[in-house]
Amino acid sequence: MYGRHPPLTDVTLVPHPLGLKVTGEIDYANRHVLAGALDQALQTGKQDLRLDLSGLTFIDVAGMRVIVAGAGRLPQGRRLILAPVSPQARRLLTLTGWRHASGLHMP
């Protein structure tokens, strides 16, 4: 895709409850932004980590794979809580079957 700039995304650390707020678009071209922030947050503390996906306007399978892989790396008893979740992210999690992935919780 010549001339296309990577979609804009913003990942912000939220200190209480510990987590990240993700806004904009996450896709193959910029998934590294989310991956880096998620890796750092997963290493912080021993409590559950909240991922606010309400501001996502788009996420593809590559972006969702980053989230599911992060949840899978959590130690037993710790969860990656997706709340609130954009309709697009909820639909992708349901279609892929990742809604019930290990370490992932979506109320």
The pLDDT of residue 47: 92
In a domain, 65, yes or no: yes
Mean pLDDT score, 56-68: 95
Distance CA 40, CA 32 (A): 12
Residue 1 has pLDDT above 60, yes or no: no
What value does the mean pLDDT take over residues 51-79? 95
What distances in angstroms separate CA 84 from CA 4, 20, 54, 105, one per listed residue? 30, 11, 5, 11
Q: How far apart are CA 82 and CA 46, in angstroms?
A: 17
**For the chain, what is the mean pLDDT?**
90
Question: Residue 64 sits in which domain range?
Answer: 9-105
Task: Examine residue 3 and state whether it is found in any structural domain, yes or no.
Answer: no
- The pLDDT confidence band at residue 86, using thresholds 50, 70 and 90, is very high
pLDDT digits (tens, 9 = 90+) for 7-48: 588 999 999 889 999 999 999 999 999 999 999 999 887 899
In a domain, 2, yes or no: no
* Number of structural domains found in the chain: 1
Global confidence as pTM: 0.89
Q: Is residue 86 part of a domain?
A: yes
CATH number of the domain bearing residue 42? 3.30.750.24
Within-domain flag for 24: yes
